A = this chain, B = another copy of it.
Amino acid sequence: MTGPPRRGRRPGAPDTRAAILAAARARFAEHGFASTSVRSIAADAGVDPALVHHYFGTKDDLFVAALELPVDPRERLAGVIAEGPDGAGERMLRVFLSVWDDPDLRLPLLGLARSVLDPSGQRLLRDGFVPAVLHPVGVALGIDRPEVRMPLVASQVIGLILTRYLLEVEPIASMPADDVVAVYGPTIQRYLTGPLPSA
Contacts and interface: CB of A to CB of B under 8 A. Distances in A.
Interface stretch (A77-85, A101-109, A175-183): A175-183
A3 interface: no
**Which of A157, A171, A178 has the most chain B CB atoms inside 10 A of its CB?**
A171
Interface residues of A, number: 38
Given A117-B114, A179-B197, A183-B152, A126 B169 contact: yes
A193 interface: no
A125 B163 CA distance: 10
A144 to B, nearest CB: 14
A171 to B, nearest CB: 6
A75 interface: no
A166 interface: yes
B126 A168 contact: yes
A114 to B, nearest CB: 5
A140 interface: no
Interface in A115-169: 116-117, 122, 125-126, 130, 147-148, 151-152, 154-160, 162-164, 166-169
B162 A158 contact: yes
A51 interface: no
A187 interface: yes
Given A155-B163, A159-B160, 19 more contacts: A114-B117, A116-B167, A117-B117, A122-B166, A125-B167, A126-B167, A130-B169, A148-B171, A151-B163, A151-B171, A151-B172, A152-B183, A158-B158, A158-B162, A159-B162, A182-B197, A186-B190, A187-B187, A187-B190
30 contacts: A114-B117, A116-B166, A116-B167, A117-B117, A122-B167, A125-B167, A151-B170, A151-B171, A151-B172, A154-B159, A154-B163, A155-B156, A155-B159, A155-B160, A155-B164, A155-B172, A158-B158, A158-B159, A158-B163, A159-B159, A159-B160, A159-B162, A178-B197, A179-B197, A182-B197, A183-B191, A183-B196, A186-B190, A187-B187, A187-B190
